[in-house]
Amino acid sequence: MPILSSSKPNTLRLRSGLNSGLDVLECLAGNRRPLSMTEIAATIGMAKSSVNKLLLTLQERGLVRRQADQRYVIGIRAWEIGCRAGPVEFGRLAQPHMAQLSRDISEGVALGMLEFDHTVCIHLVDSPNAVRVHASIGDRTPAHCASAGLAMLATMPDEAVIQLLPEKLDQVTSHTMTTRAELLAELKRIRSRGYAISRRAWRREVGGVSIALRDSSQQAIAVLNVALLISHLTQKWLELAIPLMQTAARAIEREFSRQAEHAMFAPMLRPRKTYNHREPRESRASALS
């Protein structure tokens, strides 16, 4: 099984104890199995002696845990810290509306956020169908490949999209947009109709529909997404699902607005000043399509 890292090595990033410790945490978080010190060192490109010191410190703080087989996993303290993050509260507020939507359309429903040039799944209501799109919280999807990312990019001015994404886009399937010009044209269509649709652009057998969620100042803060098998994405289904998704989106936005004054929301509701600090990310199969 390959070792995954939640971010590609950044050669321009200053190497420091803090950055290195975070690299270790991201390496462990990006994998669904425990890793040995040797595997971690090889993945993040550090000497084993240095990684060993970092692991000892992180273990003392409860951020990683060493198993009996000498492999490492994320510790309970990291989970406690993560539970205090804004996205967790977003998911709690959206949960009843997402669950109702899932029952109404008989598909899974996801909540995501845009991070640089990827969307990240932060909350999920599984599909009731036996055959369904595999999904996990924390999954990442390139923003230009799926409806969730397209819906969020459409809330940004073209100038910001141009700063964020290169002229040539990564091609994942034969249906993926490969140029920024194609992307900008599609974003214009999304702004006009108010929702994004993707077909086979991220996974050949998967499609998706997404609606951006805004706060009381009309800043986009999250995205409501339904990813489903392409065979389910029919015109009849769209005519049923889109009005229900729009109703759910407005209900979730009202929940967000009622909580917007809370301190935990403030940094996440604040719009970014610039978009030229893109940090490329390595992707894995995602809940958001």
User: According to the model, what pLDDT value does residue 244 have?
Assistant: 98
Return the bridge partners of 207, or none.
199, 228
User: According to the model, what pLDDT value does residue 84 have?
Assistant: 62
User: According to the model, what pLDDT value does residue 288 have?
Assistant: 76
Q: Are 175 and 212 in contact (CB under 8 A)?
A: no
User: According to the model, what pLDDT value does residue 262 have?
Assistant: 54
Residue 193's closest CA among 124, 255, 147, 141? 147
Q: Are 122 and 91 in contact (CB under 8 A)?
A: yes
Contacts of residue 60, defined as CB under 8 A and 6 or more positions apart, other chains included, come to none
Residue 272 DSSP symbol? P
CB atoms within 10 A of CB 212: 26
User: According to the model, what pLDDT value does residue 246 have?
Assistant: 98
Return d(Cα 199, Cα 209) in angstroms, integer: 9
Return the bridge partners of 142, or none.
118
Show the tokens assigned to 29: 């978080």
Show the tokens assigned to 149: 């990312």
User: According to the model, what pLDDT value does residue 158 have?
Assistant: 97
Say how many Å lie between the first and final Cα of the chain, rounded: 24
User: According to the model, what pLDDT value does residue 279 have?
Assistant: 41
Contacts of residue 56, defined as CB under 8 A and 6 or more positions apart, other chains included, come to none
> Which strand (E) or helix (H) includes residue 89?
helix 86-105
Residue 142's closest CA among 162, 171, 184? 171
Q: Are 108 and 272 in contact (CB under 8 A)?
A: no
Averaged over successive runs of 10 residues, the pLDDT of the chain (289 residues) comes to 41 67 88 90 92 92 92 85 68 93 95 93 86 79 96 97 96 96 97 97 95 90 95 96 97 85 46 41 53
User: According to the model, what pLDDT value does residue 83 have?
Assistant: 62
User: According to the model, what pLDDT value does residue 224 have?
Assistant: 97
User: According to the model, what pLDDT value does residue 132 have?
Assistant: 72
Which one-letter amino acid corresponds to residue 92? Answer: R
Residue 227's closest CA among 155, 139, 118, 116? 139
Q: Are 134 and 285 in contact (CB under 8 A)?
A: yes
Which of helix, strand or coil describes residue 288? Answer: coil
User: According to the model, what pLDDT value does residue 237 have?
Assistant: 96
CB atoms within 10 A of CB 254: 12
